[in-house]
Amino acid sequence: MASAFQTVFTYQGSPARVVFGAGTLAQAGAEVERMGGKRALVLTTPEQAATGQALCAQLGTLAVGQFSGAVMHTPVSVTQTAFNEITRTGADVVVAIGGGSTIGLAKALALRTGLPQIAIPTTFAGSEATPILGQTQDGEKTTMTDPRLRPAVIVYDVALVKTMPPALAISSGLNALAHAVEGLYAQDRNPMTSLMALEGIRAMISALPRLKSDSADLQAWAEAQYGAWLCGTVLGQVGMSIHHKLCHALGGGFDLPHADTHAILLPHAVSHVEPAVPELLAPVAELMGTRTAALGLQALAKSLGAPMRLLDLGLTETDLDRAVSLATERPYWSPRPIDRQTMMPLLRRALTGAPAQS
Ligand code: NAD
């Protein structure tokens, strides 16, 4: 097998202050003050409004308001309403407490106002560590990357992730794993991103089974949160490949649920790439103790009780032809070309939950 050592690369570090550990939410006020903020607007989803209220109470006079209207895919209309709250309150910092949806709203506001952001993640999605924003307007989603989108401070407090419902914790953890796995064979990878990706994968595959079997295992939640930070950082530094392309094509084309689609497709996407770059994925197979990384990822998803078949998400055999067309048009860069011949059997295996094989 060829050596995985890269002899030529470019590394661009991403500045962010990370405050990690149980109880760190208590430091949120100090973090607002540290960045010179005096008037924080707290953002949440409607479901996490109470979490926002508790944070506002904790911030005291540092909090000037709360906007609890964040929703999935950052609709521009919601951002406009939140923007009006910034104008009304004279906020000078946005504090997002929630998952990727809430952090997406903070990014959209930072883009329009230049205000600094503090992200306090409550899932493993990893958006807090990226300069990426997906926004929707008139039913169309556009994604952009801009250094101004990156939160200046991330506060990781394990007390906030351990309230995730089990299905969200598992799908969110597998979503994080997908960022790191694709980072391993990204065209613009470098030794630093590969180091972070492998450590993020190790942390996730160690922690997810433990927190599934014992939801009171704080050490496992914290290790998964640490893994999520690393996986998110990888997503923020390198381009994604076949797996993310398949997820966007199927998610957008058939309105399939984002997280479950990710969970089902990852082993199959990896099985396509693995023969082309075995040396890059061998460490994953080794961590999993399986013959291939693809089979290891599939066994992990199964053991965690994640969905295994696109059939269960509503896709049917008759949808496959269109699914393959969507997957192969405007393909992302991939270490192994994405074509109809290989995508049809791959998607059929994902449809029925057959073993992930190249
Ligand atoms: P989410 O933020 O949409 O949250 C899903 C639901 O779970 C919400 O109702 C939320 O309030 C609730 N929730 C979140 N944390 C909880 C907790 N600890 N306890 C109880 N309920 C909780 O889910 P997500 O998966 O974190 O984010 C998905 C969105 O983020 C998608 O729109 C995705 O495209 C985006 N995303 C963006 C990036 C990026 O880099 N831009 C990265 C990853 C995901």
Residues 75, 43, single domain; the answer is yes
- Global pTM reads 0.97
Residues 207, 344, single domain; the answer is yes
Categorize the per-residue pLDDT at 14 as very low, low, confident or very high, splitting at 50, 70 and 90: confident
Residue nearest to atom 15 of ligand 1 (CA): 122
Q: Of all atoms in ligand 1, which is nearest to the CA of residue 172?
A: 25
Distance CA 159, CA 38 (A): 26
Please say which residue of 135, 159, 183 terminates a domain. Answer: 159
Q: What is the CATH number of the domain that holds 86?
A: 3.40.50.1970
Residue where the block lists tokens 């770059």:
277
Categorize the per-residue pLDDT at 252 as very low, low, confident or very high, splitting at 50, 70 and 90: confident
Residues 109, 179, single domain; the answer is no
Per-chain mean pLDDT for the chain: 96
Ligand 1 centre to CA of 72 (Å) is 7
**Lining residues, ligand 1, CB within 6 Å:** 45, 47-48, 72-73, 98-102, 104, 122-123, 125-127, 130, 132-134, 160-161, 163-164, 168, 172, 235, 258
Residues 93, 228, single domain; the answer is no
Q: What ranges in the chain are assigned the alpha helix state H?
A: 28-34, 49-59, 76-89, 100-113, 158-161, 166-184, 191-213, 218-237, 242-254, 258-273, 278-288, 293-303, 320-328, 340-352
**292-313 confidence digits (pLDDT tens):** 999 999 999 999 999 999 999 9
Residue 4 within any structural domain of the chain: no
Residue 305 within any structural domain of the chain: yes
**84-129 confidence digits (pLDDT tens):** 999 999 999 999 999 999 999 999 999 999 999 999 999 999 999 9
Ligand 1 centre to CA of 345 (Å) is 32
Closest CA to 272 of 189, 327, 335: 335
Q: What is the mean pLDDT of residues 189-217?
A: 98
Ligand 1 centre to CA of 286 (Å) is 30
Residues 92, 176, single domain; the answer is no
Please say which residue of 124, 144, 159 terminates a domain. Answer: 159
Residues 307, 334, single domain; the answer is yes
- Residue 138 clears pLDDT 80, i.e. is over it: yes
Residue 301 within any structural domain of the chain: yes
User: Cα-flanking dihedrals φ and ψ of residue 308, to 5°?
Assistant: -120, -15
Residues 125, 259, single domain; the answer is no
Residue nearest to atom 42 of ligand 1 (CA): 127
Ligand 1 centre to CA of 2 (Å) is 38
Residue 3 within any structural domain of the chain: no
- Phi-psi group of 147: left, alpha or beta (phi > 0 → left; psi -120 to 50 → alpha; rest → beta): alpha
Ligand 1 centre to CA of 70 (Å) is 10
Q: Are the C-beta atoms of 132 and 149 separated by less than 8 Å?
A: yes
Ligand 1 centre to CA of 131 (Å) is 16
**49-82 confidence digits (pLDDT tens):** 999 999 999 999 999 999 999 999 899 999 999 9
* pLDDT at residue 140 in the model: 79
**141-175 confidence digits (pLDDT tens):** 889 999 999 999 999 999 999 999 999 999 999 99
95 versus 2: which is more confidently predicted? 95
Residue nearest to atom 14 of ligand 1 (CA): 99
Q: How do 153-156 and 117-121 pair as beta strands? A: parallel
Mutation choice for ligand 1 from 53, 101, 218, CB with most ligand atoms inside 8 A: 101
Residues 185, 327, single domain; the answer is yes
Distance CA 43, CA 107 (A): 11
Residue 2 within any structural domain of the chain: no
Q: In what order do the strands lie in the sheet with 93-98?
A: 17-20, 153-156, 117-121, 93-98, 40-43, 63-67
Ligand 1 centre to CA of 123 (Å) is 6
Domain holding 252, by residue range, is 166-352
Per-residue DSSP letter, 75: B
Q: Of all atoms in ligand 1, which is nearest to the CA of residue 168?
A: 7
- Residue 245 clears pLDDT 80, i.e. is over it: yes
Residue 184 within any structural domain of the chain: yes
Residues 244, 95, single domain; the answer is no
Share of the chain above pLDDT 90, in %: 91
Q: What is the mean pLDDT of residues 207-220?
A: 97
Q: Kind and range of the H or E element at 65?
A: strand 63-67
Residue 91 within any structural domain of the chain: yes
Mutation choice for ligand 1 from 25, 102, 120, 122, CB with most ligand atoms inside 8 A: 122
Show Cβ contacts of residue 57 under 8 Å, excluding neighbours closer than 6 positions.
none
Show the CA angle centred on residue 46, arms to residues 42 and 50, nearest 5°: 65
* pLDDT at residue 203 in the model: 98
Q: What is the CATH number of the domain that holds 237?
A: 1.20.1090.10
* pLDDT at residue 141 in the model: 81
Share of the chain above pLDDT 70, in %: 100
Q: Of all atoms in ligand 1, which is nearest to the CA of residue 171?
A: 25
Residue nearest to atom 36 of ligand 1 (CA): 100
Residues 101, 183, single domain; the answer is no
Please say which residue of 112, 134, 159 terminates a domain. Answer: 159
Distance CA 229, CA 235 (A): 10
Residue 85 within any structural domain of the chain: yes
* pLDDT at residue 15 in the model: 85
Residue nearest to atom 39 of ligand 1 (CA): 127
Residues 137, 220, single domain; the answer is no
Residues 79, 171, single domain; the answer is no
Q: Give the number of domains in the chain.
A: 2
